Amino acid sequence: MKKFFCYCAAFLLTFSTASAFAADLTGTWTGSMVTASGDTIQLTFTFKQDGAKLTGTVSGPQIGSMDLLDGNVDGDKLSFSVIYNGTAIKNEGVISGDQVKLIPNHDQGEPVGGEVTLTRAKTPDTTEAQPVCPAGGCTPTSQSAADVTGTWTGSFAIPGGDAMQITFTFKQDAAKLTGTVGGPMGDPMEITDGKVDGDKIFFNVSFNGMTIHHEGVVTGDTIKLTTKSDNADFPGGEMTLTRAKSSQ
């Protein structure tokens, strides 16, 4: 039997072609650059992405703050310019998850310094509102409050406008998540490294040596699922899963 080839070949390929702007850089990124003179400059980039358009600033103790110009995102690639001391510096980079490999060059093509690796700054966890407790106190809630055990279905558009149906069968044991993913063609595939943490789920699916990472947020009978691959050619995408109703 064929493996579930469409999960990789159709799902990821669809998002690499139809969703050219799958990468979302909005947020704060930090890194350092060694200049041609050997100095190390700490850099903080604040990106705001709207489709293919990229705006924001870059700042550092040695350079002050500068606006990004002509910013563009195309799949897993980005480019922008800054003006420093009257000189245009063009930056081109490749996005891989929460890292960006950035190469800055003068407008004449001369390198400004070495390659810069930017890392997305972690967002502080939002403090959850504390429940109002009765006089006897509150019963602690489980960190694995969401229970996703059961069948979940979703779909995505494939080239040509058709919809591909995907079915996830989850089994949850406290924070541990196991199960399978299948579709109209091929055998179901086992999920690995599954975990539930509050209203968030995480798991992987491996196919032909490629690992597809899944992260989702559970809201009642809906899961907003985001996928990304360890292969830079496939930036991943998003899908909404709905819990299948149990037959009476």
Query: 46-60, 121-135, 145-159, 223-237: which has the minimum mean pLDDT?
Result: 121-135
The partner residues of 81 in beta bridges, in order of sequence, read 69, 90
Query: 10-19, 31-40, 106-115, 208-217: which has the minimum mean pLDDT?
Result: 10-19
Query: Does the structure show a pLDDT above 60 at 79?
Result: yes
Q: What is the residue-averaged pLDDT of the chain?
A: 78
Who wins on pLDDT, 133 or 54? Answer: 54
Cα 139 vs. chain centroid, distance in angstroms?
35
Share above pLDDT 70 across residues of the chain, in percent, rounded to a whole number:
71
Who wins on pLDDT, 111 or 220? Answer: 220
Architecture of domain 27-120: Beta Barrel (2.40)
Q: Are 217 and 2 in contact (CB under 8 A)?
A: no
With CA atoms as reference, report the closest residue to 60 among 87, 88, 82, 32: 32
Q: What tokens appear for 215 in the block?
A: 């992260």
DSSP E strands, the chain? 27-34, 40-50, 53-60, 64-67, 69-74, 77-84, 87-96, 99-106, 116-120, 150-157, 163-173, 176-182, 189-190, 192-197, 200-207, 210-219, 222-229, 237-243
Query: 72-81, 154-163, 209-218: which has the minimum mean pLDDT?
Result: 154-163
- Quickly list H helices, the chain: 5-6, 13-17
Rounded Cα gap, residues 194 and 221, in angstroms: 19
69: which residues sit within 8 A by CB, 6+ positions away?
80, 81, 82, 83
Domain 5-18+143-243 has CATH 3.40.50.10190: no
Rounded Cα gap, residues 154 and 20, in angstroms: 21
Relative to beta strand 192-197, strand 210-219 is unpaired
Give the mean model confidence (pLDDT) for residues 91-113. 81
Give the mean model confidence (pLDDT) for residues 109-128. 71
Indicate the pLDDT class of residue 159, thresholds 50, 70 and 90: low
**Are 5-18+143-243 and 27-120 the same fold in CATH?**
yes
194-243 confidence digits (pLDDT tens): 999 989 999 998 877 778 888 999 998 999 988 887 766 665 678 889 99
pLDDT at res. 69: 95
Q: Are 32 and 43 in contact (CB under 8 A)?
A: yes
Query: 9-18, 77-86, 121-130, 141-150: which has the minimum mean pLDDT?
Result: 9-18
Output the CA angle 120-125-131, nearest 5 degrees.
Answer: 165
For residue 58, count other CB atoms closer than 10 A to its CB.
Answer: 23
What one-letter code names the amino acid at 31?
G
Rounded Cα gap, residues 226 and 201, in angstroms: 10
Q: Where are the domains of the chain?
A: 5-18+143-243, 27-120
Q: What is the DSSP string of 98-122?
A: TEEEEEEEETTS-B-BS-EEEEEPP
- pTM exceeds 0.85, yes or no: no
pLDDT at res. 10: 43
With CA atoms as reference, report the closest residue to 156 among 40, 12, 3, 2: 12
Indicate the pLDDT class of residue 111, thresholds 50, 70 and 90: low
Highest mean pLDDT among 4-13, 153-162, 207-216: 207-216
